[in-house]
């Protein structure tokens, strides 16, 4: 489509980047059918095409309003729309740019600013663990949106000596998962040990940057990205570790996106590419060795549904690989309708847009329950906690289930 950028946009890097993306869109509307918010709200401005149009208007000089911001806020950044776009519109990059430009011009109401500030500060701080434990104790009296985030504590178990194997990987521990579901990291360490890898906890900024990035603090997110690069790249460059392994697909997707976010930083862009080339979802490491691992598994659950998080399927393109790996490991996966749609978790979306988030969760749970699944496996802490809040079925990371079925007496 044709654009006629305002002079401020024509002369800025983000304006030129946005223009290139906007010009690819032919306004065909194929993306509408795959957009979860359009499916629920039925408003063109809550569809990818409508949001693209809003962003175009802003770059052409229109003054954004609170309503513009709200339509952009309602986007889950699931990037499902990209999968049906015949023109290859990079919607994910455009919505990031659009949100940042709009938040610089529209002052949010005080309540929203406070909420976003508290979320950013709390989730990125050492106080999160304390607050979460307190949340577990006071769960019955918490507001519904917060209550849904509190998952029951499970025994973590012991982990093997991290120097046992010559082959080593860094395990990205992230900001909220060690508190919410420490079992996922422990299970990863044990499964990787069975495959002949020792795992070293990747200490960096604590967070991949996604929380700040999606809560109006893109500059703070860039600081976290650079800190992670500085902490991890020397270990990768020296060959001390082979890869940065991630068991939360949301964090993995963000790490793989570092080159885009740091493209205008001459000091870090090449480093970001080097780091991103070594980032692996756990499934990417386990998949080639699934047959070897299967021989050591017993007692996998009868039939489960695999919920592929958007950050796994649409951002990283790893849904098929993960499904094949699960089948190779011996899982009997039950297909269910609309598996490509977001569950509504989407990082902090479930706290900033609770109504839309809950409707999407309930649709997802209904689809899964309709096929008679005995449980759900997934690949991201946020989706797991979110789905678990809407069903009695057990919802777990697949690596926890593999870990439980693993015979630790044989093998390496
Ligand atoms: S499918 Fe692609 S080209 Fe068509 S309206 Fe949507 S974003 Fe634009
Ligand atoms: S990213 Fe998801 S919610 Fe946002 S416009 Fe695309 S399909 Fe809709």
Using a 6 Å cutoff on CB, does residue 30 contact ligand 1? yes
Across the beta sheet with 168-172, what order do the strands follow?
A: 198-202, 168-172, 244-246, 279-281
* Segment 103-116 mean pLDDT: 95
- In a domain? residue 236: no
Q: What is the mean pLDDT of the chain?
A: 94
In sequence order, what are the beta bridge partners of 198? 168
Q: Name the phi and psi angles at 305, rounded to 5.
A: -100, 135
Taking only the tens place, the pLDDT of each residue in 198-227 is 999 888 878 999 999 999 899 999 999 999
Residue 102 is predicted with a pLDDT of 97
Distance CA 48, CA 54 (A): 10
- Dist. CA 34 → ligand 2 center (Å): 8
Using a 6 Å cutoff on CB, does residue 72 contact ligand 1? no
Residue 326 is predicted with a pLDDT of 97
Q: Are 30 and 10 in contact (CB under 8 A)?
A: no
- In a domain? residue 295: yes
- Our mutation pick for probing the ligand 2 site, out of 25, 31, 35, counting the most ligand atoms within 8 A of Cβ, is 35
- Dist. CA 94 → ligand 1 center (Å): 12
- The residue out of 70, 105, 140 marking a domain boundary is 105
Distance CA 267, CA 152 (A): 43
pLDDT above 70 (res 111):
yes
Using a 6 Å cutoff on CB, does residue 99 contact ligand 2? no
Residue 125 is predicted with a pLDDT of 84
Instruction: Kindly list the distances between the CA atom of residue 316 and the CA atoms of 5, 78, 112, 168, 284, in Å, as whole numbers in the listed order.
Output: 32, 11, 31, 23, 11
- In a domain? residue 44: yes
- Please state the atom number of ligand 1 nearest to the C-alpha of residue 84: 1
Q: Name the phi and psi angles at 110, rounded to 5.
A: -55, -45
Using a 6 Å cutoff on CB, does residue 49 contact ligand 1? yes
Residue 253 is predicted with a pLDDT of 97
- Dist. CA 243 → ligand 1 center (Å): 36
- The residue out of 105, 124, 141 marking a domain boundary is 105
Q: Are 307 and 387 in contact (CB under 8 A)?
A: yes
Sort 13 into a burial class: Cβ within 10 Å, 0-12 / 13-18 / 19+.
exposed
Which residue's CA is the closest to the ligand 1 atom numbered 3?
25
- Dist. CA 71 → ligand 2 center (Å): 11
Using a 6 Å cutoff on CB, does residue 33 contact ligand 1? no
Q: Are 150 and 132 in contact (CB under 8 A)?
A: yes
Which is more confidently placed, 123 or 20?
20
Taking only the tens place, the pLDDT of each residue in 150-206 is 888 888 888 888 778 999 999 998 888 888 899 999 999 999 999 999 999 888 878
- The residue out of 53, 86, 105 marking a domain boundary is 105
- In a domain? residue 356: yes
What residues make up the domain containing 50?
7-105
Q: What is the DSSP string of 72-98?
A: HHT-----TGGGG-TT---HHHHHHHH
- Dist. CA 51 → ligand 2 center (Å): 9
Taking only the tens place, the pLDDT of each residue in 239-287 is 999 999 999 999 999 999 999 999 999 999 999 999 999 999 999 999 9
Q: How many domains does the chain have?
A: 2
* CATH code of the domain in which 13 resides: 1.10.1060.10
Which residue's CA is the closest to the ligand 1 atom numbered 8?
25
- In a domain? residue 395: yes
* CATH code of the domain in which 396 resides: 3.40.50.1860
pLDDT category at 113 given cuts 50, 70, 90 is very high
* Segment 133-149 mean pLDDT: 82
- In a domain? residue 131: no
- Please state the atom number of ligand 2 nearest to the C-alpha of residue 76: 3
Residue 408 is predicted with a pLDDT of 64
pLDDT above 50 (res 364):
yes
- In a domain? residue 142: no
- In a domain? residue 353: yes
Q: Are 309 and 283 in contact (CB under 8 A)?
A: no
- Dist. CA 50 → ligand 1 center (Å): 10
- Specify the pTM: 0.93
Strand 168-172 with 198-202, pairing: parallel
Residue 391 is predicted with a pLDDT of 96
Q: Name the phi and psi angles at 171, rounded to 5.
A: -105, 115
Q: Are 226 and 268 in contact (CB under 8 A)?
A: yes
């Amino acid at each position: 489509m044709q654009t006629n950028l305002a002079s401020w946009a024509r002369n800025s890097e983000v304006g030129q980047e946005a223009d290139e993306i906007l010009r690819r869109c032919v306004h065909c509307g194929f993306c509408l059918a795959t957009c979860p918010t359009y499916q629920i709200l039925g408003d063109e401005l809550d569809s990818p095409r409508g949001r693209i149009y809003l962003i175009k208007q802003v770059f052409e000089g229109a003054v954004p309003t609170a309503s513009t911001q709200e339509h952009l806020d309602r986007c889950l950044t699931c990037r499902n729309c990209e999968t049906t776009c015949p023109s290859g519109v990079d919607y994910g990059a455009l919505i990031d740019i659009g949100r940042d430009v709009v938040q610089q011009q529209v002052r949010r109401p005080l309540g929203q600013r406070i909420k976003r500030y508290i979320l950013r500060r709390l989730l990125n701080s050492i106080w999160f663990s304390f607050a979460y434990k307190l949340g577990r104790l006071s769960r019955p009296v918490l507001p519904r949106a917060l209550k849904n985030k509190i998952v029951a504590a499970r025994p973590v178990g012991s982990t093997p000596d991290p120097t046992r194997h010559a082959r080593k990987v860094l395990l990205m521990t992230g900001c909220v998962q060690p508190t919410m579901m420490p079992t996922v990291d422990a299970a990863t360490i044990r499964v990787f040990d069975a495959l002949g890898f020792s795992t070293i906890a990747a200490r960096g900024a604590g967070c991949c940057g996604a929380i700040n990035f999606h809560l109006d603090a893109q500059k703070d997110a860039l600081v976290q990205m650079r800190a992670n690069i500085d902490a991890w790249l020397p270990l990768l460059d020296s060959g001390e570790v082979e890869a940065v392994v991630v068991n939360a697909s949301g964090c993995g997707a963000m790490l793989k996106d570092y080159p885009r976010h740091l493209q205008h930083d001459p000091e870090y862009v090449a480093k970001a590419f080097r780091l991103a080339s070594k980032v692996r979802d756990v499934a990417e490491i386990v998949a080639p060795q699934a047959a070897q691992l299967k021989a050591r598994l017993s007692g996998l659950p009868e039939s489960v549904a695999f919920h592929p998080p958007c950050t796994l399927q649409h951002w990283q393109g790893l849904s098929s690989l993960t499904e094949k790996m699960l089948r190779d490991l011996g899982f009997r996966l039950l297909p269910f309708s609309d598996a490509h749609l977001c569950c509504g978790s989407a990082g902090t979306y479930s706290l900033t847009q609770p109504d839309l988030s809950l409707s999407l969760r309930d649709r997802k749970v209904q689809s899964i329950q309709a096929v008679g699944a005995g449980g759900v496996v997934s690949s991201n802490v946020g989706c797991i906690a979110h789905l678990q809040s809407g069903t009695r079925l057990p919802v777990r990371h697949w690596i926890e289930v593999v870990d439980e079925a693993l015979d630790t007496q044989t093998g390496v």
